[in-house]
């Protein structure tokens, strides 16, 4: 029982957080790829392994990250569901399905946690603050925990930066907040979807995102 307690507390914490998504653009045409659904326009941007929110940013070694945006048509309500998205890599028949933020966070906290699609997570953030400040030292060659990416500065001098410091977000907060919010929407929404994949990004030849639409045929967006 005690061994499972940290995981229980983690999942409880995740339940108290809500996805806020990424900053919405004005239209689907501002994304690299887009297409029309029955009651909305869909758009996507392939982030490869980058996860970011505000000033925080880091790389995951075990998930492919896709920013997805939904723009409901005027007067329409579109129900956004993570399980309507799937990813096909290098033309393989087996599709990858989006994992919940909770599964991604569990892979950060517990490296041996198995995702539903068999991916093993450890994005190397360790649940601590990520993104801003000096890179973490390498514990061994290629240590992913040392690969944090600082966001660009605000242009303030050191005195101003030290006077007002924004609180840093943990990896759990970054993952949860950046995920696409689910549910009925009347206004545009965008956020990340996380697909378990541990291959070498350099070997990605084709990446296709398929969106299952209740009122029409599935739509496929070619990301690469």
| Closest-CA residue to 88 (of 52, 58, 51, 46) | 46
pLDDT band at residue 34 under the 50/70/90 scheme? very high
User: Can you give the pLDDT at residue 214?
Assistant: 82
Q: Note the pLDDT tens digit of each residue in 130-149.
A: 333 334 444 344 444 444 45
127 Ramachandran zone, left/alpha/beta (phi>0; psi -120 to 50): left
Tell me the pLDDT of the chain averaged across its residues.
76
* Residues 209 and 197: beta-carbon distance below 8 Å: no
Q: Note the pLDDT tens digit of each residue in 51-103.
A: 988 888 888 888 999 999 999 999 999 999 999 999 999 999 899 999 988 88
> What stretches of 21-139 adopt beta strand conformation (E)?
33-36, 40-48, 50-53, 56-59, 63-72, 78-80, 85-89, 96-97
Backbone angles phi, psi at 106, to 5 degrees: -60, -35
* pLDDT > 50? residue 8: no
Continuous H helices in 70-110: 101-109
Q: How far apart are CA 96 and CA 119, in angstroms?
A: 10
Higher pLDDT, 186 or 112: 186
Q: Reading across the β-sheet that carries 219-222, which strands appear in turn?
A: 96-97, 85-89, 207-211, 219-222
Q: Note the pLDDT tens digit of each residue in 174-201.
A: 899 999 999 999 999 999 999 999 899 9
Does this model's pTM top 0.85? My answer is no
Q: How far apart are CA 29 and CA 35, in angstroms?
A: 9
* pLDDT > 50? residue 120: no
Q: How far apart are CA 186 and CA 3, in angstroms?
A: 43
* pLDDT > 90? residue 123: no
User: Can you give the pLDDT at residue 58?
Assistant: 81
First to last CA, the chain: 45
Higher pLDDT, 129 or 109: 109
Q: Look up residue 14 and give its two tokens.
A: 């995740």
Share of the chain above pLDDT 70, in %: 65
User: Can you give the pLDDT at residue 103?
Assistant: 83
pLDDT band at residue 116 under the 50/70/90 scheme? very low
């Amino acid at each position: 029982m005690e061994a499972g307690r940290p995981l229980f507390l983690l999942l409880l914490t995740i339940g108290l957080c809500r996805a806020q998504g990424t900053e919405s653009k004005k239209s689907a045409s501002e994304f690299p790829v887009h297409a029309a659904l029955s009651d909305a326009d869909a758009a996507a941007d392939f982030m490869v392994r980058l996860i970011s929110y505000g000033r925080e940013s880091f790389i995951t070694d075990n998930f492919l990250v896709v920013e997805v945006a939904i723009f409901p048509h005027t007067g329409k309500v579109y129900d956004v569901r993570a399980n309507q998205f799937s990813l096909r890599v290098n033309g393989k028949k087996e599709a990858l399905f989006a994992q919940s933020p909770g599964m991604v966070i569990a892979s950060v906290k517990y490296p041996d946690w198995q995702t539903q699609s068999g991916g093993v997570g450890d994005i190397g953030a360790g649940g601590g603050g990520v993104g801003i400040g000096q890179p973490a030292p390498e514990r061994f060659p290629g240590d992913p925990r040392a690969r944090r990416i600082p966001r660009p500065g605000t242009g303030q001098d050191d005195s101003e930066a030290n006077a007002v410091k924004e609180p840093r977000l943990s990896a759990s907060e970054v993952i949860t907040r950046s995920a696409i919010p689910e549910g009925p929407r009347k206004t545009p929404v965008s956020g990340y979807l996380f697909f378990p994949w541990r291959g070498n990004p350099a070997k990605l030849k084709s990446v296709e995102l398929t969106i299952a639409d209740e009122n029409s045929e599935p739509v496929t967006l070619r990301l690469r």
